[in-house]
Amino acid sequence: MKTKKNSAYISLKESRKIIKYNIKQMKYYESLKRRNSEESEYTSVMRDENNILEIDGLETCFFTDNGTVKAVNGVSFDIPKNKIVGVVGESGCGKSVTSLSVMQLVQAPQGQVTGGQIRFNAAELGYDGEGKKRAYDIRNMPTKEMYKIRGKDITMIFQEPMTSLNPVFTIGYQLDEVTLIHDPEATPEKAKELSVEMLKKVGISMPEHVYASYPHELSGGMRQRVMIAMALAGDPKLIIADEPTTALDVTIQAQILELLKELQRKQGCSVMLITHDLGVIAEMADEVVIMYAGRVIEKGTAKDIFHNPLHPYTIGLQKSKPLINSDTNEKLYSIPGQVPNPINLPDSCYFKNRCERCTGKCDGAYPPEIRVSDTHSVSCYLYDEKRGG
């Protein structure tokens, strides 16, 4: 009697084939980062000059020994100027990888941005001959050119400040470095003055003392404030905050989020706020992007998402959040099933096997983005039917 072949098993021949393919792909994408390019090769034009960032069809892959993982698979959304855009989803849905792709910080050589466009609205590029606003296409920028905008025009507040700050250098040294790298005319005295000013701006009461301290001498909340000060030092146009309060207790979380919102308003910059906490999004975000298994499944204003959630996954996320007036004897809702294997993703809807409202149409191709209003769109066949499609 024949035994059924285990689909998860990879033969030695298949493994060698995958490794050979991975090496070829990694060498190709790494060579693109090191190339010498004319400016025209990594510039584009904005679809709407009122956006600071436009992500179109972004694809980011990890070349593993088991196959190619599509961590970000055709993600598209905009970040308008002077707005906070919240990116929500469960762990592993591609939120952080999307942000790292924007910063060109995906772990290489295994991780590579393989497709799509990331257009950053840079003021210094001006307009083209047709009057369209020129932009950097970050996906095609060589690494040496990316240094000019990373840390200055686009900055990032990481999830865990203790692993982001170097333990062997003082806070002042690390803050000064931002100014000295991005402003060639800056003197050490000017850099120190700006660093102390930034520490005051983020609500640190003894900035000179903190300036001379090492990271381990500060509390978690203080370290996160230092990270925000570092992000603001270059006067950025876009701040990416990757779950900036996850490692903090609830009272400090509230202080940090309020500080971030206040500074965003005063500085006039945009914020891409990544979190899995819907409460944080409701308080902070102007617009919301819901991600699942590397794709955007719903996006709209905060009012759209919280008052009129459409996708069954978005509805499930909201139902799974405990409320203060919930019945204590009632079980907390949990979305059934598991996320599909990112190496062998189905051609149909990724949420199909977990969906309680699945129809026959869901067995077809992955659902397209369906606009239900000027500000609200969803990828679900339920609304294609309502539209009459």
CA dihedral 288, 290, 291, 296 (to 10 degrees): -80
Q: To the nearest whole percent, how much of the chain has pLDDT over 90? A: 63
pLDDT of residue 215: 94
pLDDT of residue 205: 87
Mean pLDDT, range 28-54, rounded to an integer: 93
User: What is the spatial distance between Cα 301 and Cα 172, in angstroms, rounded to a whole number?
Assistant: 39
Higher local confidence (pLDDT), 4 or 134: 134
Mean pLDDT, range 316-343, rounded to an integer: 80
Higher local confidence (pLDDT), 278 or 30: 30
User: What is the spatial distance between Cα 213 and Cα 235, in angstroms, rounded to a whole number?
Assistant: 24
Q: pLDDT-based confidence at 67, cuts 50/70/90?
A: very high
Using alpha carbons, select from 58, 71, 74 the residue that is nearest to residue 138. 58
pLDDT of residue 7: 55
Q: What beta strand segments (E) does 250-304 contain?
A: 270-275, 287-292, 295-301
Q: pLDDT-based confidence at 279, cuts 50/70/90?
A: confident
Res 9 pLDDT > 90? no
Is the pTM higher than 0.75? The answer reads: yes
pLDDT of residue 251: 82
Stretch among 12-26, 45-59, 238-252 having the lowest mean pLDDT: 238-252
Res 208 pLDDT > 90? yes
Share the mean pLDDT of the chain: 90
pLDDT of residue 331: 80
In this structure, what token pair is assigned to residue 198?
A: 């930034």
pLDDT for 218-229, tens place per residue? 988 899 899 999
Q: pLDDT-based confidence at 385, cuts 50/70/90?
A: low
**Can you say how many angstroms the Cα of residue 65 is from the centroid of all Cα atoms in its chain?**
26
Is 351:292 a contact under the CB 8 Å cutoff?
yes
For 151-188, b/e burial (b = at least 16 CB within 10 A) is: bbbbbbbbbbbeebbeeeebbbbbbbbbbeebeeebee
Mean pLDDT, range 144-149, rounded to an integer: 92
pLDDT of residue 1: 44
| Cis amide leading into 367 (omega within 30) | no
Res 150 pLDDT > 70? yes
What is the H or E stretch that residue 241 is in?
Answer: strand 238-242
Res 339 pLDDT > 50? yes
Q: pLDDT-based confidence at 386, cuts 50/70/90?
A: low
